[in-house]
Amino acid sequence: MNNLNSWMQLALFVGVLLLITKPLGLFLMRVLDARGRTFLDPVLRPLERLTYKICGIDPAREHNWKQYTAAMLIFSLVAMVTTYALLRLQAALPLNPQKLPAWPEHLAFNTAASFMTNTNWQSYSPEATASYFTNMVALAAHNFFSAAIGIAIAAAVVRGVARQTMSTIGNFWVDLVRLTYYLLLPVCVVFALFLISQGMIQNFKPYDTASLTEPYTTQVQKTDDKGNPVNDAAGKPVMIDQKVDTQTIAEGPMASQVAIKMLGTNGGGFTNANAAHPFENPTPLSNFIQMLSIFAIGSALTYYLGRMVKHQRHGWAVWAAMTFLFLAGVFVLWRAEAAGNPIMTQLGVDPADGNMEGKEVRFGIFNSALFTTITTDASCGAVNCMHDSLTPLGGLVPLFNIHLGEIVFGGVGSGLYGMFVFIVLTVFICGLMVGRTPEYLGKKIEPYDVKMASLVILILAWDILGFSAWASVSNWGPPDPVTHAVTNGTNNNGPHGFSEILYAFSSTTGNNGSAFAGLSANTPWYNTTLAVSMLIGRIAMIIPIMAMAGAFARKKIVAESVGTFPVTGPLFATLLVGVILLVGALNFFPALALGPILEHFLMLTGKLF
């Protein structure tokens, strides 16, 4: 951590993030206003009008919270079913130069749920499973929609807070269309071109084959005529030598997909290694801009919040609370990874290099730590290092970030609407201490609001803890290739194996999508339960939050005075951080104690599993 250059990169990151927050926030004000004007109007206004006309959308008609939520759910469901169908039919669809086969039911369900919910958990290995058509149409389209929907929901919530004695909170279709056309598309075109300039691929050609300068021999499992793996009498795989003299290089339309994957905090990789893959994140600069793009919209939304409620300092207080939690995560993770693994040090590995297992040289310890914190602060889930190979405390950070509800800038939109729940809770718990019944921006927090906020926290805890508990007493993994015995699918034993299971359901509930990727989760049980936890984590969160938005819109605004609970300034930001940490710690400390915390102490004693 005593690396000046890393500190400079961190300062630069926070500085640039701060710098883009206001302009992007102001731009959001225009995009999220059905009559807002932008510099893109000459090109996009006709397209927008055409879209409304074809789809039969009346942009002047606003929805109440139930109509808004219903429209959102119906659209999501239609899109999810479509994706499921496209995945099941992959073999029959175009743009499939590798002739990849159709997907099994549970994997298609898991993936459709995953992309619809902005999770982008990938049970599949992209290069080996997904055709270009699948990537572009079935998956990348969701990257746009789920991102636009997240921002739309956040906007609806903000409108609910800002308005008074009204029943409507905007028109879902207008928000969806305008966000896609005016915000996501234009930024992505520029962003994608930048990524190509850094070395990212964007083509439609078949995979390339390169001749190896130094061919080598490796051992693979023997397969019979039909391509099935062959085992010996004892059930052990029969291994045969295979000469390798070529390297097949996966290709495809990557840049266009990665741009929206990052900007929309989707995180679903074009490749299995995701943003660690040299194509998918070629340079440190592409890494920097990708990290920035994860936070960009979430950060701008705090400005949008401040603007809309005419209380800009409140927006900045929320921004500050998020930044504090972000930096706290970075420091713990960075420190843990830089300290390295004492067991490796004993084997003669240089401890000054830190823990390089599962990391890329061009990013090093710091940029891996930074990316990991960011991707889990937000519900992005792209990874530029392997979370499974992080040190225990290093792995604790992404896990805990997800447990906090991913409200540190968060997934586009979902970060802010998740934060809204914590703000309401903070105001409710601490608000009484100023001697008034709690109020947020002049709106009294009533039993209904607390019920909905509690429900969100309850669902978050229940979804993660319930499923991971179930999984940890079950064996949902693939059968052992040698013994054919049932397994739990973990790639590691001891507490780390438990962490893999916990991380999986945390990631899916939080709609994050990153993984302790050692877990072999591409099995019917895992795919199904993970998909269900993703759907709960998205839909069962949005509904109560939208109900709160509706309730807030109907409320009257109580006048502000020096006797009002302050929602600006360092005190409020501190309280917000305190409540977030406390709720997260109370709900998940026991789980974390049995996973990363226990593993940390075992690692210090040199224990291996």
Partner 1 sequence: MKNILLEIKTSVLALILLTLVVSGAYPLVVWALGEAMFPHKANGSLIVAKDGKALGSELLAQSFTSPKYFHPRPSAAGTGYDATSSGGTNLGPTSQKLMDSVKAAVAQYRAENGLQAGTLVPADAVTSSASGLDPHISVKNALLQTARVAKARNLSAEKVAALVEKYTDRRQLGIFGEDGVNVLKLNLAMDGIIDQ
Partner 2 sequence: MAAKTHSIFDPAIITPAIGQSFVKLNPVTLAKNPVMFVTEVGAAITTAMLLVKGQGHFGFLIQIALWLWFTVLFANFAEAMAEGRGKAQADSLRKARTQTFANRIKGTGTESVAAEQLRKGDVVIVKAGEFIPGDGEIVEGAATVDESAITGESAPVVRESGGDRSAVTGGTRVLSDIIKIKITSNPGETFLDRMIGLVEGAKRQKTPNEIALTILLSALTVIFLVVLMALKAYGYYSTVDFTVPVLVALLVCLIPTTIGGLLSAIGIAGIDRLVQKNVLAMSGRAVEAAGDVDVLLLDKTGTITLGNRQATEFMPAPGVTEGELAEAAQLSSLADETPEGRSIVVLAKEKYGLRGREIHEMPDAAFVPFTAQTRMSGLDVGGASYRKGAAGAVRDWVGGRLPKEVEKHVEAIAGNGGTPLVVATKEKALGTIYLKDIVKGGLSERFERFRAMGIRTVMITGDNALTAAAIAKEAGVDSFLAQAKPEEKLALIRKEQEGGHLVAMTGDGTNDAPALAQADVGVAMNTGTQAAKEAGNMVDLDSNPTKLLEIVEIGKQLLITRGALTTFSIANDVAKYFAIIPAMLLGTFPAIAPLNVMHLKSPDSAILSAVIFNALIIIALIPLALRGVRFRPLGAARILQRNVLIYGVGGVIVPFIGIKLIDMLITMIGLI
Interacting residues with partner 1 between 458 and 517 (CB under 8 A): 491-496, 499, 516-517
Min. distance of Cβ 424 from partner 1 in angstroms? 29
Helices in 164-228 by DSSP H: which ranges? 172-178, 185-197
Among residues 437, 479, 483, 486, which is the contact residue for partner 2, using CB under 8 A? Answer: 437
- Of residues 543-572, those binding partner 2 (CB under 8 A): 556-559, 561-566, 569, 571
Residue 344 makes contact with partner 2 by CB under 8 A = no
Q: Name the segment binding partner 1 (CB under 8 A); options: 121-129, 161-169, 305-313, 472-480.
A: 121-129
- Report yes or no: 359 and 385 within 8 Å, Cβ to Cβ: yes
User: Which of 209/605 has CB closer to partner 2?
Assistant: 605
Residue 410 makes contact with partner 1 by CB under 8 A = no
Token pair for 501 = 């299971």
User: Which of 283/568 has CB closer to partner 2?
Assistant: 568
Site string for partner 2, 48-77 (x = CB under 8 A): ------------------------------
Q: How many CA atoms lie within 13 A of 49 on its CB side?
A: 7
Say if residue 82 is exposed, middle or buried (CB neighbours under 10 Å; 0-12, 13-18, 19+): middle
Token pair for 79 = 């899109």
Q: How many CA atoms lie within 13 A of 438 on its CB side?
A: 18
Residue 188 makes contact with partner 2 by CB under 8 A = no
User: Which of 227/606 has CB closer to partner 2?
Assistant: 606
Helices in 63-125 by DSSP H: which ranges? 65-88, 105-116
Among residues 204, 236, 586, 609, which is the contact residue for partner 2, using CB under 8 A? Answer: 586
Question: How large is the C-alpha radius of gyration of the chain?
Answer: 24
Residue 454 makes contact with partner 1 by CB under 8 A = no
Residue 165 makes contact with partner 2 by CB under 8 A = no
User: Which of 198/568 has CB closer to partner 1?
Assistant: 198
C-beta atoms surrounding 534 within 10 Å = 29
Among residues 91, 432, 482, 486, which is the contact residue for partner 2, using CB under 8 A? Answer: 432
Among residues 433, 480, 483, 484, which is the contact residue for partner 2, using CB under 8 A? Answer: 433
Q: What is the dihedral of CA 93, 95, 99, 102, to 10 degrees?
A: -40
According to DSSP, the β-strands at 239-249 and 439-440 are: unpaired
DSSP state, residue 90: G
- Of residues 447-506, those binding partner 2 (CB under 8 A): 447, 449-451, 454-455, 457-458, 461-462, 465-466, 468-470, 472-473, 488, 495, 497-498, 501
With b meaning 16 or more CB within 10 Å and e meaning fewer, what string describes 448-484?
A: ebbebbebbbebbbbbbbbbbeebbeeebbeeeeeee
Could you tell which of partner 2, partner 1, none binds residue 125, using a CB distance below 5 to 8 A set by kind? partner 1
Residues 6+ apart with CB under 8 A from 210: 246, 247, 248, 249
At residue 594, what is the residue type?
Answer: L
Secondary structure element (H or E) that encloses residue 270, with its range: none
In angstroms, the CA 361 to CA 509 distance is: 32
Alpha carbon separation from 348 to 343, 352, 383, 600, 606 (Å, rounded): 9, 11, 28, 20, 14
Alpha carbon separation from 604 to 7, 116, 227, 365, 546 (Å, rounded): 28, 41, 45, 20, 46
Secondary structure element (H or E) that encloses residue 102, with its range: none
- Of residues 259-318, those binding partner 1 (CB under 8 A): 259-260, 271-273, 276-279, 282-285, 287-288
Among residues 185, 429, 532, 539, which is the contact residue for partner 2, using CB under 8 A? Answer: 429
Q: Name the segment binding partner 2 (CB under 8 A); options: 286-294, 383-391, 415-423, 582-590.
A: 582-590
Min. distance of Cβ 286 from partner 1 in angstroms? 9
Among residues 223, 248, 437, 483, which is the contact residue for partner 1, using CB under 8 A? Answer: 248
Residue 327 makes contact with partner 1 by CB under 8 A = no
Min. distance of Cβ 445 from partner 2 in angstroms? 7
Q: Name the segment binding partner 1 (CB under 8 A); options: 133-141, 155-163, 444-452, 461-469.
A: 133-141
Secondary structure element (H or E) that encloses residue 240, with its range: strand 239-249
Binding site for partner 2 (CB under 8 A): 425, 428-438, 442, 445-447, 449-451, 454-455, 457-458, 461-462, 465-466, 468-470, 472-473, 488, 495, 497-498, 501, 556-559, 561-566, 569, 571, 575, 578, 582, 585-587, 589-591, 593-594, 597-598, 601-602, 604-605, 607
